[in-house]
Amino acid sequence: MKLVKEYEDLNDTLLHLKLQVQESVDFADQAMPDHVRDGKDLFAWLKSYVVYRDDPRGEELFMTMRTMFTGEHTGERGAGDCDDFTIAALACLHVLGYSDLYIVLAGRKKAYPV
């Protein structure tokens, strides 16, 4: 599933990112190879599979891991931006048993993290 909506504020954005992570957990459990056992393995595997692509102009697109990996929205398997990579990584980390997961945001202005 993809989620496209107008930017409201950071709290709303993080809520919807969390919902996409939750929806991605089952797919992550099926898609993640057996050799991925920790965060380092996970990062290497995701980096080998994911291709960075900007969201369409004027949209903030949040894709589940399944949507990104299958290319349902972009037509390109594994294509997504930073938040899509984050959604996939958090879902996989959950599957690996990590429970205290945090997102660090950085940006030039508090209202517009990048």
Tens digits of residue pLDDT in 44-99: 999 999 999 998 887 778 899 999 999 998 899 999 998 899 999 999 999 999 98
Q: What mean pLDDT is predicted for residues 22-47?
A: 96
**Secondary structure of residue 113 in the 3-state scheme:** strand
Provide the 8-state DSSP code for 57.
Answer: T
pTM of the model: 0.85
CA distance 8 to 47: 30
Residue 114 has pLDDT above 80, yes or no: no
Percent of the chain with pLDDT over 90: 58
Is pLDDT larger for residue 7 or for residue 80? 80
**Secondary structure of residue 63 in the 3-state scheme:** strand
